[in-house]
Structure 1
Amino acid sequence: MTYIRPIPMTDPARPIDALPLAGGWCWFNQVEVLDRDAPPKMVPVSDLDAETRVRLAARRPDFAGLSMDRPRIMGILNVTPDSFSDGGLFLRPESALMQARKMAAGADILDIGGESTRPGAVEVNAAEEVSRTAPVIAALRDGGLDVPISIDTRKAVVAEAAFAAGASILNDVTALKFDPAMATVAAASGCPVILMHSIATPETMQADPYYDDVLLDVYDALAARLGEAIAAGIPREMLAVDPGIGFGKTLQHNLILLSRLSLFHNLGLPVLLGASRKRFIGAISAESDAQKRLPGSLAVALAGVAQGMQMIRVHDVAETRQALSLWQAATTGGAA
């Protein structure tokens, strides 16, 4: 089996034969052909068959009512006592609501979670997770907040309660694998779904994770989960993928994925990158305090945007919005 990775570019000097990458802000006129049993090789887009060219170049479907032709920011709101960088800060409902409204000024999506999935985290009772998340979502909707809200959960009961409260996206870090009822609930909701790659559980995922080829293994795993989701009745155009940076990956695994993120465009769906404040940023920058990893988080976010990632999941919404605005202005020469 071969894998086709478009080589993303943003340079204003765009060749006449270049194609738009996923209908967005990047272009490409070459691809890297990857094979488990052969060295990589570069080929021009003219060597690709028509189906592959269309799949790589076509504009992605709108996701939760948002066009995917420009980068979208997903703001993280953890209503948990133990998340790795902001645990306990927004556990009280009033604190969560204040933070959500603050983030909504710059975020395209709010992602609300009531269970930490940091390495080593233990499972939270579903009823407790519901009590943390559903009231906050309901209060935000009652207060007139109209941005899309995603529920970050791996449990069907929590997802159902969140949808009833006003959530409009499911963000499942196990790609519907953890809870056997989740695929049915997701399909019945009619809401878009983000399928993230992970292995094992948060308690054990960093216990010597191994891959034959991390890039291709993660790609194949996500392709398989897409098939399962579609078979469960979730329309393909309602799905997005996330390679799961930091979830069952070593520092080297993360860097390999980040360097070739554009491979995931070959799945033909929006791709989300979530790397904000993660441990590998601290390892590379020698910063042990997760709340001081903003510069590294911005660097990784912009590297993802340069590879055409349609959604960027971050803790620091205002700072990311400013960095993204400047990156876009600098790469387009100020054009809208």
Structure 2
Amino acid sequence: MTSPSPIEIMGIVNVTPDSFSDGGSFYDLEAAVAQVRWLIASGADSIDIGGESTRPFAEGVSLDEELRRTIELIRQVRTFSSIPISIDTRKAEVARQALAAGASIINDITALQGDPEMIEVARASGARVVIMHMQGTPETMQVDPRYDDVVEEIYSFFAQRLEELEAAGIDQERIIIDPGIGFGKRLAHNLSLIKQLNRFTRLGRPILLGHSRKRFLGELTGQAAPDRDLATAVISALSVGKGVSILRVHDVAATRQAVAIAEAVIAAT
């Protein structure tokens, strides 16, 4: 059996006072820079910077505040590292300024549907784009999510969205798909998506899995968000061999170990 393709590990930096996973630990610029340095030292292949919490029932922040939280951090990172930076935003102006500051990936939970200017920013920039599936909005998504067939419905969403974005001038080769674990999904939906991730490989695009410290892991383990890194690593290992290209996580070192072990087992004769 051949070895699986290398999996990219994307380290998360939430520059927010109300993050579900780290309680605003990196809201301060100095702390955020230190966290980026730690993630890079831990072996991150890329960094995802977000200035607006998108946890369930979270309220949005103003454009000015999101810019304040993210742009200077990107500039600071660029003074000591060339690591690829993803800007996690649903605002076109934040994406535009982040790209100008040194980011090269737009990670949009609305799949470029939340801001009418986002498609043009993505098209003109040439940046890689992560499009995510979400049922509802962060304010409403966990109220009562329902699907007849969660995997097939999300597959159909991506198939249609890829066609729409290509028609809008965004080359599919630049697009990464994210099934949106925890975004308008119940526990059973999340588990089905993880179990059947290989179904999405038929779309021919890289798959990003954003499962780190999510609520469904707490439902399974009883652990609070900061204590879910072991559970996160288990899911990371289980996803190896299912076509995943990028794992977006808080604990890069644990994920790298989990992936290395899973890859070794898969490659064994």
Normalization by structure 2: what TM-score?
Answer: 0.96
1:1-336 equivalence runs, <5 A: 12=1, 25=4, 69-105=5-41, 106-143=43-80, 145-287=81-223, 289-333=224-268
- Cα-to-partner distance string for 1:104-156 (whole Å, 9 max, x where unaligned): 1211110000000000100111111011001000111022x111100000110
Aligned-residue offset at 1:308: 2.1
- Cα-to-partner distance string for 1:135-193 (whole Å, 9 max, x where unaligned): 000111022x1111000001101101100110000111110011111111111111010
Secondary structure of 2:32's partner? helix
Aligned-residue offset at 1:333: 4.0
Structure 1 Cα separation of the partners of residues 72 and 55 of structure 2:
23
Structure 2 Cα separation of the partners of residues 318 and 248 of structure 1:
29
Secondary structure of 1:275's partner? coil
Q: How many residues align?
A: 268
Contact 2:233/2:258 (CA < 8 Å) preserved in 1?
A: yes
Secondary structure of 1:151's partner? strand
Secondary structure of 1:313's partner? strand
Unaligned runs of 5+ in 1: 1-11, 13-19, 26-68
Structure 1 Cα separation of the partners of residues 17 and 190 of structure 2:
26
Structure 2 Cα separation of the partners of residues 87 and 177 of structure 1:
28
Contact 2:241/2:266 (CA < 8 Å) preserved in 1?
A: no
Secondary structure of 2:244's partner? coil
Contact 1:79/1:87 (CA < 8 Å) preserved in 2?
A: no
> Structure 1 vs Structure 2: percent identity of aligned residues?
52
Contact 1:172/1:196 (CA < 8 Å) preserved in 2?
A: yes
Aligned-residue offset at 1:228: 1.9
Q: Which structure has the bigger radius of gyration?
A: 1
- Cα-to-partner distance string for 1:16-61 (whole Å, 9 max, x where unaligned): xxxx7xxx71xxxxxxxxxxxxxxxxxxxxxxxxxxxxxxxxxxxx
> Which is richer in helix?
2
Aligned-residue offset at 1:233: 1.2
Structure 1 Cα separation of the partners of residues 256 and 192 of structure 2:
26
Runs of 4+ residues deviating >6 angstroms: none
Aligned-residue offset at 1:325: 2.1
Contact 1:215/1:257 (CA < 8 Å) preserved in 2?
A: yes
Over aligned residues, Cα RMSD in angstroms?
Answer: 1.4
Contact 1:78/1:87 (CA < 8 Å) preserved in 2?
A: no
Contact 1:77/1:112 (CA < 8 Å) preserved in 2?
A: yes
Structure 2 Cα separation of the partners of residues 222 and 125 of structure 1:
29
Secondary structure of 1:200's partner? coil
Structure 2 Cα separation of the partners of residues 322 and 255 of structure 1:
22
Unaligned runs of 5+ in 2: none
Normalization by structure 1: what TM-score?
Answer: 0.77
Aligned-residue offset at 1:328: 2.3
Structure 2 Cα separation of the partners of residues 203 and 87 of structure 1:
19
Contact 1:115/1:124 (CA < 8 Å) preserved in 2?
A: yes
Structure 1 Cα separation of the partners of residues 196 and 266 of structure 2:
20
Instruction: Report which structure shows greater RCO (CA 8 Å, sep ≥6).
Output: 2
Secondary structure of 1:203's partner? coil
Secondary structure of 1:198's partner? coil
